[in-house]
Structures are given as C-alpha cells and as structure tokens.
Amino acid sequence: MDYSDRHVVVTGGTGALGTAVADALVKAGAVCHVPYVEAAEAERFPLRGHAQVKLVPVSDLSDEASVTRVFAGVSPLWASIHIAGGFAMKPVAETTRSDLMQQVDMNFITAFLCCRAAVNAIARTGAGGRIVNIAARPALEWRSGAGMAAYTASKAAVAALTVALAEEVAKDGILVNAVAPSILDTPANRAAMPKADHAAWPKVEEVAATILFLASPDNKVTRGAIVPVYGRS
C-alpha cells in the first residue's frame, strides 16, 4: 500500500497498537501526526525523531478545543485513525457515575470529536479520505461485556458512531470503518493474564495491517464496517 506523502493522524499512537500502526504507516510513506498527553509518552515513543513523524502535544482528546487545535495543524489530511481510549473492569453494582463518564469520555467522546475534526479537515481538501475507529469485541458481542459494562457501552457507541457517520459522509468520498479487537497480545495484557493462551491473541502488527488497509487509498468500497480482529481467540 502506498501512502507516499499522505498525512495521517494516529491518536493513541504512542501505545502498543498505535506504535505498530505508526511504524507500518511510515514504512508505507505516510507522514504521521501523533498526539500525546504525557511528556513521558513522547520520550519513550520508538519513532520519536523520525523524519515522517510529528509528535503533537495535547491536553485532552475529550476536549473540543484541544482536538480542534490538533487537526488544524494537519494539512492536507488524508486519514485519521482513532486508537486513544481506556479500559476499566468493574461490575455495574460498583460502577459510579464518575466511572461511567470516564469510560464515555475516554472511548466515545474522544472518537466523536476526532471524527468530527477529521471530517472537516478532509472535506477541505476535496480529495476524500479515510477514518478508522477502534471498537472492541464486547461492542459486537454484548454478553462478553459482563463485568465491564461501562467499557462495553462506550465501545458500542463507537461502533454505532462509525456506521452512522459512514453513511453520512460517503457522498464526500470519506470512507469510515472500525476494527473490533479481542484481547491484544501486548506485554501489559500478558502480565495481567499470565495463564491465558497468549498464542491465540491477535498480534498488534496483524491488527495494524487491517487498519492500514481500511485507511488506505486501496480501500475503495468498504465503509460502515466493524471488522472483527480476533485472531484465534
């Protein structure tokens, strides 16, 4: 896939999946704009200093003004990939309103505001573009969200946003899709679940490959899809 000279925003780009996506993008020729909140995130980012990577400080991706500033600095924008989010495991009986709103802010509000900013930025180019969101397996399989209902609901909202927006902006040549990972094979997840079958988990590089296709010019017809990326799990 050829991303030569195409500008792509990758939120959550300093995390495990985000790093895999950014690495694949720069190898395909893209210029990656990676927002970060904590200075430590930027310091440990493996692609820090790469000529095709622009690290962008941001205070909060659930803040409208902050998101607007991030996207105002990217021109022309071809694609926006929204990986930023958070996870919490807690039964409903123990979930406070604050817990719920934190998941909504981290997962749904960030995706919504970044989608909005991306649609406006891509529309200004008149050349079309791509948006890829990150849902989750429980967003498609609600029963699997038992014990993490706030997270599940926030990711289900991301899935619904993706499909509705895809229909809304298809006429503008903007194709919107999402991937829905199961548990990813990352060092953090292995440490949290040492007895799990790690070999069955999808690898971040494999999920990144799916995201890369959906965000690429090679994707000419796929829109409104929530693509399961479960590996063998």
67 neighbors 113 (Cβ within 8 angstroms): yes
133 neighbors 113 (Cβ within 8 angstroms): no
Three-state DSSP at 228 gives: strand
CB within 8 Å of 209: residues ≥ 6 apart: 24
Does some domain include residue 28?
yes
Does some domain include residue 117?
yes
Report whether pLDDT(142) > 90: yes
pLDDT of residue 25: 98
Range of 111's domain? 7-229
pLDDT digits (tens, 9 = 90+) for 198-231: 999 999 999 999 999 999 999 999 999 999 999 9
Tokens of 109: 């509000």
**H helix or E strand, kind and range, residue 8:** strand 7-11
Percent of the chain at pLDDT > 70 equals: 100
Could you tell me the pTM of the whole model? 0.97
CB atoms within 10 A of CB 202: 21
On average, the pLDDT of the chain sits at 97
CATH number, position 74 = 3.40.50.720
pLDDT of residue 37: 95
DSSP 45: -
Three-state DSSP at 128 gives: coil
pLDDT of residue 59: 94
pLDDT digits (tens, 9 = 90+) for 76-104: 999 999 999 999 999 999 999 999 999 99
Report whether pLDDT(111) > 90: yes
pLDDT of residue 167: 98
Does some domain include residue 158?
yes
Q: Give the torsion through C-alpha atoms of 229, 146, 159, 199, to 10 deg.
A: -10
Which residues are annotated as catalytic?
Answer: 151
User: What is the rounded distance in angstroms from the CA atom of residue 194 to the CA atom of residue 198?
Assistant: 8
Does some domain include residue 152?
yes
Tokens of 80: 């926006």
Does some domain include residue 2?
no
Does some domain include residue 1?
no
Report whether pLDDT(233) > 90: no
**CA neighbor of 22 nearest in space, from 49, 60, 40:** 49
pLDDT of residue 227: 98
Count of structural domains, the chain = 1
